[in-house]
Chains A and B, each alone.
Chain A
Amino acid sequence: MTIQFNKETFRDDYSFKNSDWAIQRFPFPFHEDSYMYSVNMEQHRGGPAGSVYEKRFDVDEHYISEMEDRAMVLADDPLRCQSLPHMTLAGWDLLELIMVSKSEDYPDLFELHREGDIWRWINKPMGIDDTFTFLDETTLPYGPMEYITRQTQGDFCVLDQRDDNLWMDAGMVTTQADWSLDFDIGMNFFEWHAPVPLAHEKGIFKRALKFLLNIQQGAPARRLNWTMTVNPLLDTSPENYHKWGIQKTTLTPENIGAKQHLRVELQSFFRLPRSNALVFPIRCYLIAFQDIVKSPKWGRRLHRVIRDLPEELATYKGFIDNRPMMLDFLSKYDDGLPTSPGVFPDNETEPALQK
């Protein structure tokens, strides 16, 4: 399949939109009609054909525009990309992982040619054709992590593993849900998760960390996380809260279907070979409420999940004030019929809306 790349923006006039293809394959995060934090991790070794789970690094119609948005964020704030000195090798590991994966998974878009340490990388969608020496930083325009993550959708945290913990010692973070790399850099797994409500008490982080420390090369894992964003903004960082926080008050019953977006992160975990670090790609997918409710099952379920979500979670995720308005909108798409298990829309088998 060849991908038609959209020309669109995630700021100012917000021309971002999802095609029918993108809506159909959206990673809807709820497998049942309620939601609570859990150790929701599974192996990342493929998934249904065409789904966002199929490839190691999903490439979709937003690729080019997301990379343009990242370049703009970095131009304004270079601290969104940081790497402590001992993480350079992990950066090369990440560059290799992405180049090898993308050239194998999307041979029509990406090519990698290796002659010993001389590597040639061709990124057709972005018009890049570079030859460089592997492990020699002077032959690339940026450090290895920055170079490759300027060409790959999603944020990246590169975690050093030592003393039975993970340390956020490098990252490229421009599409985050209200947390800051500059603040978290050098922190460990428990420290950067400190603000999350309820999950510590439930023992989720303790178990999740043990699992992550055991992740082995060739056996990546993944999980989904989600939140809400008004307007299709990629960069909802604390650094820019003054710009986007205020937009949450612009929601009205008339514009909510178009403006309110469900924001889903497909998070994956890969062991890196030379450095033994762990990389944590956080791929953000946005979808407008009006597009979600095109699938009757998703409309019914989203209403029930948002209605019954514990207050602590709605507060932490930053939509407690807008929840009543969301529920007014979503309730129109919930006729009380049961929903099929699992995340997929099942449009062929689920009954149409009965109201």
Chain B
Amino acid sequence: MTTLLSAEGLHKSFGKTSALDGAGIAIREGEVVAIMGPSGSGKSTLLHCLAGILPPDSGTVTYRGQDLTAMTDNARSELRRTEFGFVFQFGQLVPELTCLENVALPLRLSGMKRKDAERASRDWMERLEVDTVADQRPGETSGGQGQRVAVARALVTAPKVVFADEPTGALDSLNGERVMHLLTTAARETGAAVVLVTHEARVAAYSDREVVVRDGRSRDVEFVR
């Protein structure tokens, strides 16, 4: 399998706080990688740097041979919109839109016609077993349903990489497992890689392998080798 996305020698500080101190990681096509480690170790910062949301102070992030850190902001946003999908712990759905409109949003932003966008979105909502809440607003769904809507929205653009930061953090075990099962099954079917930040071992157990971050340094067995 070829490396899809990798980072090397990442350093990132917030004021005097060093969040990343030489972190590195390599993600191959279609694999599900869990990033684990104690609170404050730099997991989210690593994910944000990998996804081109946050520029590292130094180090490189390479996606399919392109250096993300050397791209213009516009090119990076375009890449994020077309190649990446995102699922966070909460607060990612637009409250004024229905769940269906939320899922369709990335497609609409890419210029797809409303009808086509909503048809594709309905398919994904069915796969994630949330077609029943299509016409409700996010505030009118349960936490588990909301997360599955978010997963549908992350996958609707057929991304190459899905970034998920504690996607089950606000859910009970049963709903968390359901989200993980549906997310990883869908990602495996579409060939998307998943970069999953979690501190829960049972959630990480849905991955193919794990990378442990400690004090801003990551231990990526595959990468070191």
Is chain B found bound to chain A in the same assembly? no
Q: What is B's interface to A at a CB cutoff of 8 Å?
A: none
